[in-house]
Structure 1
Amino acid sequence: MKTLDYLHLNEKKVADVVSALHQLLADFQVHYTNLRGFHWDIKGHGFFVLHGKFEDMYNDAAEKVDEIAERILMLGGTPENKFSEYLKVAKVKEISGITCGGEAVEHILETYSYLIGEERKVIELANEAGDDATADLMTGYLKEQEKMVWMLVAFSTKSCTK
């Protein structure tokens, strides 16, 4: 028997979910690597705050990579594990050499915008397949990322002076 037999999910119905999760896995892997680079390369004003925040963010991304890969396995798929393959399909592009905090934050906001859109698509596909667990996983990601977007936008806003 297959795992899906016990989960009461139809393999054909979750095929689109698995495909979308493969895309998300590739995108998160590149996002993780970009965050590591921001963490290593950041300089100047805001270094202490951003260096630590980028570490928190890449640790979070690494956890999500593992969760996505495991969800692919639960749904009968096989997650990719070669970075060369991720780069062929990822829509998140590799970024390097960013030392300015504001520029790094802007790249992160653009990535979150993309990931949030993709996660909403996964939720839609999961709901169509009756896959509540994947929809719930993505909903949790959205909750965290929407708050992070709000915080990064607030961090990036120029202060008012009187």
Structure 2
Amino acid sequence: MKLSTIGLPVEESEVIIVELNILLSNYQIYYQSLRGLHWNIRGRRFFDLHIKFEELYNDSQLKIDLIAERVLTLGGRPLHTFEDYIKFNQLTVGKNISNDEKAIQLIVDSLSQLLKNERNILDKASQINDEGTNSMMSDFIVEQEKTIWMMKAWLEESL
């Protein structure tokens, strides 16, 4: 078994690189949807949601960079074209959403899909003792589970 310079099996790392690039694509779509929500939100909750959506897209931008850098650390190349992002996207694209409940539901749905991707990566990375990827995915998961809980509380739904 060939090991990389960071001590991980090369072949198995390539599988994780593919999954991280899919996650990266989904995050880019999520980020753009959040920008659209930030710009287009209307109504009495505008001020609160406008600020919240900015907070979420800034956080997503940081995560996008972390994912791309992890791909590079593992010896891969991060996807970086809109063509690739659209090709690998698994999220609903938020287009022209100005209603508060539809906006929050889009966030819940998007984060739920991102969690599926992250758990898949976590499982694969665990199998090869890729603690760097595991740690990143674990941090993302904990934060997103809490965000989903808060968004669903806002929607007055139960988990």
- Per the TM superposition, whether the score is higher than 0.5 is yes
Code of the residue aligned with 1:21 in structure 2: it is: L
- What is the CA deviation profile of residues 53-100 of structure 1, one whole-angstrom value per residue up to 9, with x for unaligned ones? 000000000000000000000000001111121101111132211000
Match of 2:113 in 1: 114
Code of the residue aligned with 1:151 in structure 2: it is: M
Q: Structure 1 vs Structure 2: percent identity of aligned residues? A: 35
1:10 aligns with 2:9: yes
Code of the residue aligned with 1:4 in structure 2: it is: S
Contact 1:119 1:138 in 2 (8 A): yes
Code of the residue aligned with 2:144 in structure 1: it is: Q
**Residues 19-98 of structure 1 mapped to structure 2, 5 A cutoff:** 19-98=18-97
Code of the residue aligned with 1:63 in structure 2: it is: L
Give TM-score, length-normalised by structure 1.
Answer: 0.92
The CA distance in 1 between the partners of 2:139 and 2:100, in whole Å, is 27
Give the count of matched residue pairs. 155
Moved over 3 A (4+): none
Task: Mark the runs of 5 or more structure 2 residues left unpaired by the alignment.
Answer: none
Contact 2:24 2:64 in 1 (8 A): yes
Structure 1 residue matching 2:4: 3-state secondary structure:
helix
Structure 2 residue matching 1:4: 3-state secondary structure:
coil
The CA distance in 2 between the partners of 1:58 and 1:144, in whole Å, is 14
The CA distance in 1 between the partners of 2:95 and 2:12, in whole Å, is 39
Contact 2:92 2:106 in 1 (8 A): no
Give TM-score, length-normalised by structure 2.
Answer: 0.94
- What is the CA deviation profile of residues 91-144 of structure 1, one whole-angstrom value per residue up to 9, with x for unaligned ones? 113221100011000011001111111100000000112101101100000111
Cα RMSD of the aligned pairs, angstroms, is 1.3
The CA distance in 1 between the partners of 2:115 and 2:99, in whole Å, is 24
When Rg is computed on C-alpha atoms for both structures, the one with the higher figure is 1
1:152 aligns with 2:151: yes
Match of 1:135 in 2: 134
Structure 1 residue matching 2:142: 3-state secondary structure:
helix
- What is the CA deviation profile of residues 23-79 of structure 1, one whole-angstrom value per residue up to 9, with x for unaligned ones? 000000000000000000000021111000000000000000000000000000001
